[in-house]
Structure 1
Amino acid sequence: MGLPLIEDEADIRWITLDRPEIRNALRVEDLDHITSAVRSAGPEVRAIVLTGSGDRAFSAGMHTDTFAGATPAAARESITRVRECVGAVRLSPLPTIALLNGFCIGAGFELALACDLRVAHPEVRFGLPEIRLGIPSVVDAALLHHYVGLSKAKEIILTGDLYPLADFSHTGLANRVVAPAELRETAVDLATRLGAHTAEVTAAQKGLFETWLNHGLQHGIDTSVDVFAELFEHPATLRAIDDYRPAPR
């Protein structure tokens, strides 16, 4: 138990946070390991699934000693590595799925928000308790209001409380909610479906999501026209069009 486990099973890369004795709390070296595992995925990998060891937690976030006694320079260095790790997940050209098997807190919650999809069981609890430590929620906590609305995001961040998944049932925060025994099978099914498309179109579509999030409407529309046309440079696009058959009704 220690650094995240990296395992390639078929065409899925599994990244398992592996400190179950501390609810898979993250240390700085874990962040670098996750970043490397995401960025080093070769063409044989079609999707990435992140999860946590055991049955108690996806992740409790950064270990509480990470920022103890830190200087501003040291705090900036640590949080920059959080940003790099979470950003690697969000910006990966591959589809990413968070398999949430328990507490999903702090930087662990940010990792889950950075993933494209989330699979959870009904007892998962979420929270951003940083404010209770005298520090703000940052990095991909900036995405939270897109999932749950600004008012609820402010409540979650400003209280630092933990919230049951049921509080987000109307938001789609979890794409699939299943029994604990069904989590892995559900994640594999989603990863297989997402990974079945051409690598080129998945990367392009994910890039457009970033454009739509970060720029205005007209810029997003204009960029999407360019991206659409550029995909026709790839033989894989033309093959996919030739091979496409509508699903039977």
Structure 2
Amino acid sequence: MKSHNYMMGLVRDRWAHHNIEMSESHNYKLKLGNRSTSVPGQKKRSTLVTNTSGGNPSPFVVARAIALAMGIRFIVMAMICSAIIINSTQNLLTIMIILIALFNQAAPVFLNETYCGPCPQNWICHRNNCYQFFSERKDWLQSQASCMSHNSSLLKIYSKEEQDFLKLVKSYHWMGLIQNPANGSWQWEDGSIFSPSQLTLVEMENGACVVYGSSFKGYTENCSTPNTYICMQRIV
């Protein structure tokens, strides 16, 4: 009887031990199952994020596109401004030579990018003539003598089209137009007859010499009055 009870105890112990092993094995498989099912879910979420980012551009891509568009717009605006500046180059250069003349800068200016002949140093070259604006004040005869010492004469208007930059000249400068005391007619320093098509002459009282104003207008002036003057060399 004792032997029988002993054998039954061993059977129960082994059965209990077997149940414990089965329970532990089952729990281990459940853990593996849960771990394996979580991985596909993570992959799926990762795939969804990738697909979503591929469909909607990131802020960096949008900012880069905006910057590129603004750069193209800037280039177009720069090209338009350059075209405007090129079209107005003639006027800008004309203003520049007047300013250079008035402030007595050191280098001559060449307009229209064409050969203008050999002008003296620091003189202004425009088309077929050389000009110099002298800031010192002299009477008409003294101004004439100064121009002659520079192998030139006082300003003469040959053509408004040829000497178009002179319309921008301000203040008054002696020019080579005087009145013939014999008959009262107006003539240029070289003896040629004055034509109203060359210059609009405004006659003032007691004036036998002429100062150049602006916009091709001349004003008669007392020849002994000190004024600045313009010397000119004709190339052809």
Indicate the TM-score class for this superposition, using the shorter chain for normalisation. under 0.3
The two structures have a TM-score, normalised by structure 1, of 0.23
Larger Rg: 2
